[in-house]
Structure 1
Amino acid sequence: MAEAAPLLPGLPNDITIWEILLRLTPKPLLRCRAVCPAWRRATSDRDFLLAHHARQPALPLLYGDTDDLLSMDIITCDNWAADKLQSPSRDLTTPLASFRKRGERRLSICNPATRQYAPLHQLRGFKLLGMYPHGPTGDYRLLLYLKADAQSSTYVFTLGSGLPPRHIRGPDAKELELINSRGSLLFHGSLHWHADNLIMVFDTTAESFRQMHSPIVSGHVIAGLFEMGDMLAMFSLNDEETIVDIWVMRDYQGQVWASKGWVEFPIQELMAQSEDLGSCWEVEATYWDGDLLVLAKFDNGSLHQVDIAGKLVDSFRHRLLCPTPLRLKQSLVSHTFFPALEGYVVNAPPFI
């Protein structure tokens, strides 16, 4: 069999595909498919797309209020974790995620990178705790809970299966309310939530809950989890709303935490931009390309990006735009469950 013609003259295809094309972000990669059939085949291969997805950073999402009831109320901020905090974009390139339309308890599923969307009519009334790939089956599943009167129950829903949500044994009602207050973090094959000085963990293989220790945090008003390299990390805002403390779990199995330092807000510099700064009421931390960055939302509607040295990287003013604990990785992988969902569309509202 004749060897395939090189995609780029003078370079082996292994280098072109796995060292060059693999490093592109989704938009340029999609444009490469228009070069010729060989480029389209190379950039559409599932193994390549899975490897490409694995290289993408887990970018934070921002929540944007809108009067358009047909649009999604969760949006990305392009390159938030890079060098510049830019204005939000409706041309999203985020990965698979679950969303709730503003003013409704109706979940939908979408992949903005491939512009696939489907409502989840059968989940009306359910609340989303997290989404995860189920390793043994390869399914994508949603972890849900349903509150009826004073009772709360936990469920698992397999996307595209056609089966109703399956009841599983979960935490008590109080713990469910706590972990519902923040988004989950998928780490080491489990979903994690920080709640009330403990960490609730959902093993996505066994589909069971357990608890882990968290650093002892007293007098802190906001706390949350994030991934820092290959370690589970946690941030918390102090009572004075001036310092974000950072911890990392150096030994996951032994649940050993260590202080990683702190980020001090440049309050004087922020006040110089606006006399009416107000209180800090939303904070998120993220780790990207070796740098720790903090995004803080203040009462006056301003968003500020600060690095670990306390240096103000950028500012953005938008009263109705808020950080969320959600993290999404861009993905061009086509998921087979989409066509099995009622109301499935491609290149249709809410993307157009």
Structure 2
Amino acid sequence: MAEATRPRSKLLNRGLPDEIVIWEILLRLPPESVLRCRAVCRAWRLATSTRDFLLAHHRRQPSLPIICGYGDRRNILVLDHRATDGQLQRVARLDNTFYPKASFDGLLILSKYDMNGALVFSVSYRSSVLVRDGLHWYSVEQRQPILVFDTTSELFRHMCAPVVSIKSYIFEMDGTLGIYSRDNAMGNVDIWVLQNYEGEVWDCKYRVKLPMVDISGQLGLSIDYWAVKAMLVDSDVLLMVMYGQCVCYVDTDGKLIASFRRNRQPLHDCQGWLKQSLVQHTFFTALKGYSVNSWPFV
């Protein structure tokens, strides 16, 4: 961020310049810690409440995979494999009639069903990703072209997709598109990468043999069915494998590198990502009867 856009403030710490305290220390804290720091003093509260600071802080936040935990209530969780503790962090606790469908700028889009199964509110069942100023949708169940909405021209168009099996998903991969598909019977995951965006040229870059024996041995379970999600983490492609109450990370060499467990609650991948934000969305406060943490969020 340009120096000219940074607000001048009073000395926050006698031993450190304001620029270091605000833009090198407070900016690097997780959202919960930033909120707690506001209680330290009025100067810190003002410094961490400016729009420039909040936008810069949001840009530093990682995009974390969203996971659903099932039980008496539906827990919306995110997984940060880099955290030293509490890797599965709860974002919201919902009525079981709600299900997350998408996320953007810290907002969750939910679908809701009544007790008779009638759809009340929903968004597309396709997986989607934002790349190159375009929102890309890809059919999970059918072999169809990729649907693209150009956010600049506000026009729709189609892109070709690789010939893959059903149950394939699209994801963002270092500024371009990736599509991955799984073969439950063989335990394989194919990952395709769009090598040339303008030419719509795809390449099958990885074929990963999942270490199901290692995973089942470590978890002490016999795994018959599993869910998987491909993701880019710190410039490395990883696979998140889910079964029951457990989540595992596997690299493209098929090596198990980490595992997490949430006891007493089955987990399910929601095919979404959450990037936390402290930036206030003005349209919420404009809603009639708006209140924070009201039903159905508890």
Question: Normalised by the shorter chain, which TM-score bucket?
Answer: 0.7 to 0.9
Secondary structure of the residue aligned to 2:177 is strand
Q: Which one of the candidate residues 61, 67, 85 is aligned to 1:56?
A: 61
Measured on the aligned residues, the alpha-carbon RMSD in Å equals: 3.0
1:133-186 deviation per Cα after TM superposition (whole angstroms, max 9, x unaligned): xxxxxxxxxxxxxxxxxxxxxxxxxxxxxxxxxxxxxxxxxxxxxxx2x33212
Aligned counterpart, 2:31: 26
Matched, 1:211 2:195: no
* Letter matched to residue 75 of structure 1: I
Which runs of no fewer than 5 residues in structure 1 stay unpaired?
107-123, 130-179
Q: Compute the displacement of 1:336 (Å).
A: 0.7
Aligned length: 273
Aligned position for 1:228: 173
1:103: how far off? 4.4
Aligned-residue offset at 1:294: 1.4
* Distance apart, 1:333 and its partner CA: 0.2
Residue identity matched to 1:321:
L
Letter aligned with residue 109 of structure 2? S
| Conserved? CA contact 1:61–1:77, under 8 Å | yes
Shift of 1:27: 0.9
Give the aligned residue type for 2:29: L
Aligned counterpart for 1:199 among listed residues 146, 149, 154: 146
Is the 1:60–1:81 Cα contact (8 Å) retained in structure 2? no
Post-superposition Cα deviations, 1:98-146, rounded to whole Å, max 9, x if no partner, equal 123464699xxxxxxxxxxxxxxxxx844213xxxxxxxxxxxxxxxxx
Q: CA deviation at 1:41?
A: 1.2
Q: 1:67, CA displacement in angstroms? A: 3.0
Q: 1:309 to 1:205 in 2, by over 3 A?
A: same
Residues 264/197 of structure 1: CA separation in 2 closer, same or farther (3 Å cut): farther
Q: Aligned to 2:273, what secondary structure does the other structure show?
A: strand
CA contact (8 A) 1:286 1:294 kept: yes
Amino acid across the alignment from 2:167 = I
1:95 is aligned with what amino acid?
Answer: G
Match of 1:154 in 2: none
User: 1:269 & 1:315 partners in 2: Cα distance?
Assistant: 14
Cα distance in 2 for residues equivalent to 1:335 and 1:275: 44
Q: Which has the higher contact order (CA 8 A, sep 6+)?
A: 1
Residue of structure 1 in register with 2:276 after alignment: 330
1:213 and 1:261 mapped to 2: Cα distance?
Answer: 20
Aligned mates of 1:84, 1:244 — CA distance in 2: 29
Shift of residue 277, structure 1, vs aligned partner:
0.9
Return the match for 2:207 from 258, 262, 280.
262
The two structures have a TM-score, normalised by structure 2, of 0.79
Aligned pair partner of 1:5 in 7, 10, 31 = 10
Q: In structure 1, how many angstroms separate the alpha carbons of the residues matched to 2:22 and 2:147?
A: 40
Q: Which one-letter code corresponds to 2:150 in the other structure? A: D
Letter in 2 for 1:268: V
CA distance in 2, matches of 1:245, 1:267: 16
Distance 1:36 1:311 in 2: 48
Q: Which residue of 2 aligns with 1:309?
A: 253
> 1:81–1:293: 8 Å Cα contact kept in structure 2?
no
- Equivalent-residue separation in structure 2 for 1:333 and 1:104 (angstroms): 35
Report the equivalent of 1:238: 183
Q: Read off the aligned partner of 1:308 and give its amino acid letter.
A: T
Residues 221 and 239, structure 1, Cα contact 8 Å, conserved in 2:
no
- 1:263 and 1:226 mapped to 2: Cα distance? 17
Q: Are the counterparts in 2 of residues 61 and 74 from structure 1 also a CA contact under 8 Å?
A: no
Deviation at 1:50, TM superposition (A): 1.0
2:131 maps to what in 1?
A: 187
Note the C-alpha offset of 1:53.
Answer: 0.9
More displaced 10-residue stretch of structure 1: 184-193 or 309-318: 309-318
Cα distance, 1:270–1:296 mapped onto 2, change above 3 Å: same
Structure 1-normalised TM-score?
0.68
Please tell me whether the aligned partners of residues 85 and 316 of structure 1 are also in contact (alpha carbons under 8 angstroms): no
Matched, 1:127 2:74: no
Letter in 2 for 1:320: P
Contact 1:60–1:80 (8 Å) recurs in 2: no
Distance apart, 1:329 and its partner CA: 0.6
Instruction: Give the superposition deviation at 1:222.
Output: 2.5
